[in-house]
Structure 1
Amino acid sequence: MNPRLDQLHPYPFQKLRELLAGTEPNPELAAINLSIGEPKHPTPGFIRDALVGGLDGLANYPITQGSDALRAAIAGWAARRYGVTLDPASEVLPVNGSREALFAFAQAAVDSTRHGRRTVVSPNPFYQIYEGATLLAGARPFFLNTLPENGFTMDWSRVPEDLWDSISLVYVCSPGNPTGKVMTLDEWRTLFALADRHGFVIAADECYSEIYFDEAHPPLGALTASHQLGRGCRNLVVFNSLSKRSNVPGLRSGMVAGDAEVLKKFLLYRTYHGSAMSPAVQAASIAAWNDEAHVLDNRRQYAAKFAAVIPLLRDVLSFDAPDAAFYLWARVPGGDDAAFARGLYAQQHVTVLPGSFLARDAAGANPGKGFVRIALVDTLDACVEAAERIAAFVTEAA
């Protein structure tokens, strides 16, 4: 077996199961699970209908590049959302969810033939796929802590100057998981300048981009920023997904867009990887990318939950309202995030994710320690009840 598999860490939810094993939750309270970012809003009926209507396509092998209609739908959405014109033939690829693509991209992007080009940078805390993809590509991760004192931004000045020319790939996540932080144009300008100077590729994970709270100010996307700065898509690849946007995590459908030369190589890799999207899933995806009404309704539901939950938790937990996404990244009393999560589960039957499970020790600290991630993915009533239970738990422990 590949010895690099031994470098992989247990997934955060495996660690959570181990943390809670043997703990009996309060039997008088129904379970409320806010630990995983799995949307609970109903899948729109028209997407389900399109999936069923596409079943005749199961008689054909799909091509890895996806249908012309699907790539045109994705390019059309990008034009409406980001104000950019993408060539559907060379600057867009459908993928089986952003998770699969974020992992696969590192396997194609890391230059394992040159010992000096084997560093991958990622935020810390982070989506664990970044680390696993890095390790299995034979690269070494370099973590940039995102902390309250720097506004949860990636501080590029902390990268040693002699490390830059060893970097093949930089993962960024905006809106951020778990902080909800959105990168500004100035932050993108700095990162693009570094990529142009040192020749690395940027993998921009934007799977939370459509969960935001101000319709007049959607989160700035990497494609928009790059085009505003006059650099096209050079060394930039953006990943997005229908899972959060359209409440279809089980559909496993997303997209990759950006630098045509990079995507040409990535398509070659994917042709061998066997990652073509089912024709039925393509049909459902076309319907989803072409409709915005259901996404607007989705945002309204999340906005209502944040408006109801934040006042209930403001006096018992320390947090900033996120720029976007559906998480609260909250500092817990006492600083022991694992003990907090275990106690909350036992006493109030509410599950949250310890922040330290989402991070690694870097620069002398685990930046997730003392935080929990609360995913407001359940119904409004369930989220409100969970917030009331969390407040009761903290108050009783004080």
Structure 2
Amino acid sequence: MNKPWRSDRLSQLGSSIFAEVAEWRAEAAGKGRDIINLGIGSPDKPPTEAVRKALSDAALRTDIYAYPGTHGSAGFRRQAAAWMKHRFGVNLDSDKELVSLMGSQDGLSHLAMSLCNPGDVVIVPNPGYPIYRAALALAGVEPYLLPLKEENQFLPELDSVPIDVWRRAKFILLNYPGNPVSAVADLAFFERLLAKAKQYGVLVVHDAAYSEMAFDGHEPPSILAVPGALEGAVEFHSLSKSFNMAGCRIGFLAGNREAVGALRELKENIDYGVFGAVQEAGVAALQEAMSASAPPKAGVLYEQRRDSFVAALAAGGWAVEKPKATMFIWAKLPKRSDGTTWTSREFARGLLDQTGVVVIPGEAFGSEGEGFVRIALVEDEARLLEAARRIGEYVRY
């Protein structure tokens, strides 16, 4: 008897649209299309010279190749805590309220396993980053999808969640500045969120991977800056986007010590931590960001790209909302020239096939993403302007 060598869980791990888009891209390239890939949010710039030198110097040390330890080096954890104090005014015990990660996705993918039992409920955003729901599938946890609506500036209506869901939920996960929705939240919202969650004993999990990529003078706050937040919240931070270290795989979870400790305990049984040289590079990045001679934040580059690209799209006939943060544009689809509407998949497939420009259909991020596409600002300005020109031709066609 033939037994399937494939878990049923794999079908629950996320939208297959990402694999489909990769196939579309290969087909378009095979037809000779010049591909401009605005699909994946991977920074196109390297880390600073100081970060690269720290990585290089550490990699040459003979003592750096032992198991690094799941907790992360004391040096990295102390520096991460110092940066949280410098950037957000948050005081953390680096031994008990912070754990290093192989990027925030590492922690996001394992958190439900460490906090929940099969059958528990977790509240996640719709649309939302795919690992949010995929992690719940791995843990056997039931998602409650919390709609993020354009008319509410993509902030959730917390009172719309049924009381029974609040009572059953272990944690609620939100993401500001957001991916795919480039929305922001202020401390007043976080205060309301924490108060609501505390009423039902629900942990608040905040994904702050894009905290250093905001525009127009906005400085995204940390939820941990709310007084008393350490009693009921944790927050993910990543060096991938803010410091152009996506391939290094380093980030951390900070906040409530019981939740941080649970994730640390799970990871002690899974891996041996982040390579020591990468942690040294992380220390250098955070130190440099705190120095008097700190380089411009990543948001400065993406703000320039946003302004040029959005203006070029508008000139081509597609007016989109300017994002307030992140490296993404969450773009509401225009009407076809005949007045009819595209689905997000139709638009993305046709755009790629006809122009070579890659964007991600909004449906990849949940049902509330239909009618939108996500566009990543991960090419230089000249290529973005060329992409906007091609998109304009497609929209007008």
Q: Distance in 2 between matches of 1:85 and 1:347?
A: 52
1:93 equivalenced with 2:77 (yes/no): no
Q: Distance in 2 between matches of 1:190 and 1:121?
A: 16
One-letter amino acid of the structure 1 residue matched with residue 52 of structure 2: R
Residue matched to 1:363: none
1:250 equivalenced with 2:247 (yes/no): yes
Contact kept, 8 Å, 2:107 with 2:263, in 1: the verdict is no
Q: Is there any run of 5+ residues in structure 1 with no aligned partner, and where?
A: 360-365
1:213 pairs with one of 191, 212, 215: 215
| Alpha-carbon shift at residue 220 of structure 1 (Å) | 1.9
Residue matched to 2:389: 388
One-letter amino acid of the structure 1 residue matched with residue 374 of structure 2: R
Residue matched to 2:305: 305
| 1:18-52 CA-partner distances (Å, limit 9, x unpaired) | 4556456773x632100111110122222121112
One-letter amino acid of the structure 2 residue matched with residue 243 of structure 1: S
| Alpha-carbon shift at residue 239 of structure 1 (Å) | 0.4
Where 1:233 maps in the other structure, the secondary structure is helix
| Alpha-carbon shift at residue 147 of structure 1 (Å) | 1.6
| 1:65-115 CA-partner distances (Å, limit 9, x unpaired) | 112211111011101111111111111111110001111111101134xx5
Q: Is there any run of 5+ residues in structure 2 with no aligned partner, and where?
A: 1-5, 335-340
| 1:324-362 CA-partner distances (Å, limit 9, x unpaired) | 101111111223211111221122211111111121xxx
Residue matched to 1:148: 150
Residue matched to 2:66: 60
Q: Distance in 2 between matches of 1:4 and 1:343?
A: 31
Contact kept, 8 Å, 2:51 with 2:281, in 1: the verdict is yes
Q: 1:2 to 1:108 in 2, by over 3 A?
A: farther
Where 2:235 maps in the other structure, the secondary structure is strand
1:49 equivalenced with 2:53 (yes/no): yes
TM-score between both structures, scaled by the size of structure 1? 0.90
Count of aligned residue pairs for this structure pair: 380
Residue matched to 1:332: 333
Residue matched to 1:195: 197
2:19 pairs with one of 6, 14, 19: 14
1:30 equivalenced with 2:34 (yes/no): yes
Q: Distance in 1 between matches of 2:122 and 2:128?
A: 13
Q: Distance in 2 between matches of 1:68 and 1:386?
A: 45
* Aligned-residue RMSD, C-alpha: 2.0
Contact kept, 8 Å, 2:15 with 2:364, in 1: the verdict is no
Where 2:386 maps in the other structure, the secondary structure is helix
1:231 pairs with one of 209, 228, 233: 228
1:349 equivalenced with 2:356 (yes/no): yes
Q: Distance in 1 between matches of 2:141 and 2:274?
A: 28
How do 1:314-325 and structure 2 match up within 5 A?
314=314, 316-325=317-326
Q: Distance in 2 between matches of 1:102 and 1:219?
A: 20
Residue matched to 2:262: 265
Q: Percent identity over the alignment? A: 33
1:368 equivalenced with 2:365 (yes/no): no
Q: Distance in 2 between matches of 1:12 and 1:51?
A: 35
Q: 1:18 to 1:147 in 2, by over 3 A?
A: farther
Q: Distance in 2 between matches of 1:162 and 1:308?
A: 47
Contact kept, 8 Å, 2:213 with 2:302, in 1: the verdict is yes
Contact kept, 8 Å, 1:211 with 1:245, in 2: the verdict is yes
One-letter amino acid of the structure 2 residue matched with residue 244 of structure 1: K
One-letter amino acid of the structure 1 residue matched with residue 177 of structure 2: P
Residue matched to 2:338: none
| Alpha-carbon shift at residue 2 of structure 1 (Å) | 5.2
Where 2:171 maps in the other structure, the secondary structure is strand
